[in-house]
């Protein structure tokens, strides 16, 4: 849950999940629809799907126990190098460093060297006696991440109160490196909504754009075209999804005929999981009635 998401946002979801699924086995027995519904509003839904797959695999292949080597742990769905190292440190107190964006920035600033010019693995290996020489590895993994998030922040690092400022090259240098910015892409989309007099909208899981694969969505086309003659323009609005900033033109058409891969959904009473991206569209289309 914490990947790309702040702790304060995660807390209510975490509490809800742990209340509902008291054991790994209980979690593994649920289905994708239910997990997505529980995850609704948290975004990056691939994490929810992977969580379910991961719990099933742990129960089936690992006797409900998290493996304790990086090689094994990385075989689990959704667990890569970073999460694997974080888990080994936090769960098994193993000497590891979970290299997320925050931690890389701390190293890069201390050396006053751009991230892309640093071989982090080599750096850690070379300094392992200094970096990984503690019995409190779990605390160390956590502390490094928090340090990057709270003290050595992306913007305006708190150098004056930082315990590393006596040795930090960034702090001392008159020629400070630039901090890597998060890449945001701008994209334009036309969204076409078939609607009918029964206050329904046609949605499909097929032929969708990659950032929202396998979700119920209206028909989406990249690039704005001015030749959408058969469709009525409803609204232009902005929406952010992952690292994308979307500029959206919303169109609609009353029609009882819809392409075969589409199905009708009520604009008002949906019990199914619908991502917030689609919910926003539903809300805007509802204003037509
Ligand atoms: S002195 Fe400043 S730049 Fe250096 S590690 Fe501390 S907060 Fe980061």
Q: What is the pLDDT of residues 71-104, one digit of tens each?
A: 999 999 999 999 999 999 999 999 999 998 889 9
Q: Determine which of 12-21, 146-155, 173-182, 246-255 has the lowest per-residue pLDDT on average.
A: 173-182
The CB of 179 under 6 Å from ligand 1? The reply is: no
The pair of structure tokens assigned to 110 is: 């201390």
For a ligand 1 pocket test, name from 103, 105, 106 the mutation site with the most ligand atoms within 8 angstroms of its C-beta: 106
Q: What is the predicted pLDDT for the residue at 221?
A: 85
Q: Is the pLDDT of residue 15 over 90?
A: yes
Indicate the fold that domain 101-172 takes in CATH. Answer: Endonuclease Iii, domain 2 (1.10.1670)
Contacts of 194 (CB under 8 A, 6+ apart): 201, 202, 218, 219, 252, 253, 255, 258, 262
Give the closest residue (by CA) to ligand 1 atom 2.
Answer: 159
Q: Determine which of 64-78, 153-167, 263-277 has the lowest per-residue pLDDT on average.
A: 263-277
226-233 average pLDDT score:
80
The CB of 158 under 6 Å from ligand 1? The reply is: yes
Length of the chain, please?
A: 289
What is the Å distance from ligand 1's center to 171 Cα?
A: 6
Q: Please identify, by atom number, the ligand 1 atom nearest to the C-alpha of residue 151.
A: 7
Question: For the domain bounded by 7-92, which CATH number is listed?
Answer: 1.10.340.30
Q: What is the predicted pLDDT for the residue at 277?
A: 86
Give the closest residue (by CA) to ligand 1 atom 8.
Answer: 152
What is the Å distance from ligand 1's center to 133 Cα?
A: 22
> In terms of C-beta density within 10 A (0-12 exposed, 13-18 middle, 19 or more buried), how is residue 166 classed?
exposed
Share of the chain above pLDDT 90, in %: 66
Q: Where exactly does CATH 1.10.340.30 map onto the chain?
A: 7-92
Report pTM: 0.75
Q: What is the predicted pLDDT for the residue at 225?
A: 67
Q: What is the predicted pLDDT for the residue at 194?
A: 94
Mean pLDDT value across the chain: 90
Distance of CA 271 to the CA centre of its chain: 24
The CB of 152 under 6 Å from ligand 1? The reply is: yes
Top pLDDT among 229 and 279 is at 279
Q: Where exactly does CATH 1.10.1670.10 map onto the chain?
A: 101-172
Nearest to 199 by CA among 271, 265, 275, 272: 265
The CB of 51 under 6 Å from ligand 1? The reply is: no
Contacts of 98 (CB under 8 A, 6+ apart): 82, 83, 85, 86, 89, 141, 144, 145
The CB of 164 under 6 Å from ligand 1? The reply is: yes
Q: What is the predicted pLDDT for the residue at 200?
A: 93
Q: What is the pLDDT of residues 89-147, one digit of tens each?
A: 999 999 999 998 889 999 999 999 999 999 999 999 999 998 898 899 999 999 998 89
The arrangement of secondary structure in 186-286, i.e. its CATH architecture, is Alpha-Beta Complex (3.90)
Q: What is the pLDDT of residues 29-51, one digit of tens each?
A: 999 989 998 998 888 888 999 99
266-280 average pLDDT score:
81
Beta-strand runs (E) in the chain: 185-196, 200-203, 219-222, 232-241, 244-254, 263-266
Residue 254's pLDDT band (cuts 50, 70, 90): very high
Q: Is the pLDDT of residue 229 over 80?
A: no
Residue 202 to residue 200: CA distance in whole angstroms: 7
157-178 average pLDDT score:
95
For a ligand 1 pocket test, name from 115, 159, 172 the mutation site with the most ligand atoms within 8 angstroms of its C-beta: 159
Q: What is the predicted pLDDT for the residue at 226?
A: 65
Q: Where exactly does CATH 3.90.79.10 map onto the chain?
A: 186-286
Contacts of 243 (CB under 8 A, 6+ apart): 182, 183, 184, 185
């Amino acid at each position: 849950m914490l990947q790309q998401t702040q702790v304060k946002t995660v807390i209510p979801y975490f509490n809800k999940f742990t209340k509902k699924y008291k054991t790994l086995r209980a979690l593994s027995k649920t289905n994708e629809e239910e997990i997505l519904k529980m995850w609704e509003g948290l975004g990056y839904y691939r994490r929810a799907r992977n969580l379910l797959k991961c719990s099933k695999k742990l129960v089936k292949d690992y006797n409900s126990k998290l493996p304790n080597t990086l090689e094994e742990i990385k075989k689990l769905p959704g667990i890569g190098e970073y999460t694997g190292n974080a888990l080994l440190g936090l769960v098994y107190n193993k000497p590891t460093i979970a290299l997320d964006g925050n931690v890389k920035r701390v190293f890069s600033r201390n050396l006053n060297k751009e991230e892309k010019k640093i071989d982090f693995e080599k750096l850690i290996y070379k300094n392992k006696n200094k970096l990984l020489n503690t019995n409190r590895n779990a605390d160390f993994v956590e502390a490094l991440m928090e340090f990057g998030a709270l003290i050595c922040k992306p913007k305006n690092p708190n150098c004056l109160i930082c315990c590393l400022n006596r040795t930090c090259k960034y702090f001392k240098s008159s020629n400070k490196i630039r901090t890597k910015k998060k890449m945001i892409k701008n994209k334009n989309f036309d969204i076409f909504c078939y609607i009918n007099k029964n206050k329904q909208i046609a949605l499909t899981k097929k032929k969708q754009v990659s950032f929202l694969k396998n979700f119920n969505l209206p028909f989406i086309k990249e690039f704005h075209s001015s030749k959408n003659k058969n469709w009525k323009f409803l609204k232009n609005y902005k929406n952010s999804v992952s690292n994308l900033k979307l500029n959206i033109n919303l169109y609609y058409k009353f029609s009882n005929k819809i392409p075969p891969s589409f199905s009708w959904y009520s604009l008002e009473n949906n019990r199914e999981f619908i991502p917030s991206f689609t919910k926003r569209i539903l809300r805007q289309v509802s204003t037509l009635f």
